[in-house]
Structure 1
């Protein structure tokens, strides 16, 4: 009896301390909301009518396709839900609210109303950056995101939490601290069966170094690590109330993850799952007199294609395009800009007739020092392969404003996307709407959803390596102007009818988020 009491006492006090802390966080929500409404200059007698939706997007000022999704959703809610305040959890502490709103207008031509938009700035964003975790990066970033979510909930508790960047492990923290419904727009699964297959097959990629793929022992160890991570990632996704995804490729993976089971890991985790569930129930019961809101875990994700400003882009002429190859993507490692430079070198080596006329322009956003260093490395690679700007072959445009991006899309002839398993590819849609013929990697969203045949006729080209990309570009360059115009017209028609901003807004509205308010 004494031994049991000594064992249970620490557990009881742990539960008590946790419940007190959770109660404190939830009680602070009242003062946080009052402060936010005062800052937004909303009259006090309207406080009860307002609902707060928290968007977890630590890189909201990055200017990429994911940010277009975020700001289009926020702008939609501002137009259609006057009693909803959008709260954006941002790690962009070097920018003000006014500067972020101005950049959204300049980059995406999206107008945001400041009076129903509140920012909560987070100080710990470095914990989710890959450079902070040179080893076990997936695990480190996921743990870092949980700490960032704790900081977010400590500063502001909304009525509904929506993750729009892919940090599913934050769901556990939000559920525990805030006890509110959780949703997500998933651009790319943190881990997928494809990633497990590559490790198991011992294929070298940017996420699976040669040192690991060449070692049987290290490959088996990484495979077990991935299995464990996949198991817990599935648990995190199942804790949400609703899920939206950006493509059929992402949907297939997310649906498979939601249904994922591992009998061995289920058996190992059974005691931990029981203890964790019991602990959470006790903490919730002690932290609040009202029960936590129940929800049924989503069995399937809903496809909501990302928005693209196809209407404006479709105004460009389909004729008279110079021999300009355009890459439009943030300078992140998975975008594989190096493959585009190698493609350029292969193209000029195999088809020297293009040397005086074809030029590659790499335009994209830089988020941090890591991205800046990556640009420097790419410039060095271009010098090494003798296709640098000094030879008038490869040029870089970093953090260009939206008018400059429009100018490039209106002049380019071919658009490149070399990312393997690109989850969707807003840039590819922009290419097609603008009349730029896409040459994309034969995988992911560009293969399955975007660059697809229309009435049995092509809307672009697919490739898998530098040589096949070079061959595809050459085919575009040597075909007749009539053939090029036919492809451009078909691609534009497909893009503007399937991936418009209106289609995204309709999908977002029908996703079911509003019933959780």
Structure 2
């Protein structure tokens, strides 16, 4: 017999929480009429009912990276095509003004935005989504932090449509419950993936599965339980959305798998009743699958770079983060020099490895020091150069000169830097420093050598007309062999491959293609008719 404090398996306590949330949400929505009126007045608009407020949740909008290019390109497209839409960006960049942020957008991305149809809602609790705030149970902590951040956002302004462009799926619940608004998202990378679960299950050492965990059967089982619980509620969160866009085939495969994820045991045990209530009241419009919308890359300008007379330089563009695996690049380059000593000694055949990347903090700076030490141990310091936190103009200069574009990250979700390798910018370039280098090689005419996984394998470095546009590898030995193949191409073969790489990059990853994909998500079905 079911006790009286349970109704159909749901506790009375959970129902009380649900009712409390509904009452609080009603209060916020009532206050929002004032917030909305103040927003439109501040932008110089009349208080017309035909305006749609489109909210973009992007707490790090001033970072200047590939994810931010997606955000600003989407907003610029909305401004051009939907004059009755006012875009609002929920930003945690409280150290910058609206004018300063938009000036950086102009400088970094060459995107000019209409100030009269764009406003910022500045959030002061962004620290709760930073990994430093959660040294343990980081995924869970950041997800809870994103819910708190979304609550701050909704308490200041509730939009007509909420679009998350940073990957904070747990924030969907707050916008849905308190704001009663439809949800959309552009997902760059799943918060948790089936690959992460498999690595813990197989006790494989990884940057997300340290030695202390992988070497212990007990800790591995505990982490596996944690991951499965998190995956369950992450799937519930994703199903709260009405539409989902993703940046690559790899990301789509993982998001689609997560959307179908279920765990009968968790359903029966009815853990965390408030969240189970969320599951029960999830929108009937929940997406069955995600839509691929490739990120916009600056292929138009990059394609102006010359393809001939390239220097014998292997170029790596990536932040000095653990997952970028710079040590594998150094070992691969060392093997190249060991197997082909002429690349060391012959001044006409000499090859250099150039590592350009951003250093965000002390951890990254320490990683650079370790990499420099590895170069010294291998005795190749005369052939390897580091450029840390380079001005963007320097990055572009090397994109116009290098021969090989290198990426060793395993399961890179997309890899805009590889696109930029393949496509390259005019001499009139911005000087702003991007926080991440993501959209470079293909359009630049640099021949890419990438890890055989993720977006680079499935979406970017793919054949064009049956002919290859670059090379894939998995081990340092395979990477060194790929370097040698590129460096040994005849002049005609070399030029033909660069042309194929650029053609593929320009026709597939342009801003125009992104805008088509963005509109295909049917976000505009929530826009009031003008």
TM-score by length of 2: 0.87
**2:353 aligned residue:** 360
Q: Does 1:305 align with 2:305?
A: no
C-alpha contact 1:418 1:440 (8 A) present in aligned 2: yes
**2:173 aligned residue:** 172
Distance in 2 (CA, whole Å) between partners of 1:257 and 1:15 is: 26
Quote the offset at 1:16 in angstroms: 5.9
Distance in 2 (CA, whole Å) between partners of 1:269 and 1:506 is: 42
Distance 1:59 1:268, change over 3 A: same
C-alpha contact 1:364 1:400 (8 A) present in aligned 2: no
User: Which portions of structure 1, spanning 4 or more consecutive aligned residues, are displaced by more than 6 angstroms?
Assistant: 7-13, 387-390
**1:149 aligned residue:** 150
TM-superposition CA deviations, 1:329-387 (whole Å, max 9, x none): 34443333343334334434443433463333333445x53xx5313422332233227
> For 2:45, which of 34, 43, 46 is the aligned residue?
43
Distance in 2 (CA, whole Å) between partners of 1:9 and 1:298 is: 30
Distance in 2 (CA, whole Å) between partners of 1:334 and 1:472 is: 21
Distance in 1 (CA, whole Å) between partners of 2:126 and 2:238 is: 22
Q: Does 1:138 align with 2:148?
A: no
**2:26 aligned residue:** 23
C-alpha contact 2:55 2:89 (8 A) present in aligned 1: yes
Distance in 2 (CA, whole Å) between partners of 1:106 and 1:335 is: 27
Q: Does 1:502 align with 2:501?
A: no
The secondary structure found in structure 2 opposite 1:144 is helix
**1:477 aligned residue:** 487
Q: Does 1:34 align with 2:25?
A: no
Quote the offset at 1:327 in angstroms: 2.1
**1:468 aligned residue:** 478
**2:365 aligned residue:** 375
Quote the offset at 1:71 in angstroms: 0.9
Structure 2 matches for 1:94-133, cutoff 5 A? 94-133=95-134
Structure 2 matches for 1:7-406, cutoff 5 A? 17-40=20-43, 42-44=44-46, 46-269=47-270, 272=273, 276-277=277-278, 295-355=284-344, 357-366=350-359, 368-369=360-361, 372-386=362-376, 391=382, 393-398=384-389, 400-401=391-392, 403-406=393-396
The secondary structure found in structure 1 opposite 2:448 is strand
- Specify which structure has the higher proportion of helix: 1
Deviates more, 1:169-178 or 1:9-18: 9-18
Distance 1:349 1:378, change over 3 A: farther
Q: Does 1:450 align with 2:460?
A: yes
C-alpha contact 1:365 1:400 (8 A) present in aligned 2: no
Distance in 2 (CA, whole Å) between partners of 1:375 and 1:347 is: 27
Structure 2 portions without partners, runs of 5+: 424-443
C-alpha RMSD of the superposition: 2.7
TM-superposition CA deviations, 1:32-67 (whole Å, max 9, x none): 222222332x133x5422211111111111122111
Deviates more, 1:313-322 or 1:264-273: 264-273
TM-score by length of 1: 0.89
Distance in 1 (CA, whole Å) between partners of 2:206 and 2:337 is: 26
Quote the offset at 1:466 in angstroms: 2.6
Distance in 2 (CA, whole Å) between partners of 1:460 and 1:406 is: 20
C-alpha contact 1:361 1:397 (8 A) present in aligned 2: no
TM-superposition CA deviations, 1:144-192 (whole Å, max 9, x none): 1111111111122111110111111111111111110000011111111
Structure 1 portions without partners, runs of 5+: 282-292
The secondary structure found in structure 2 opposite 1:416 is strand
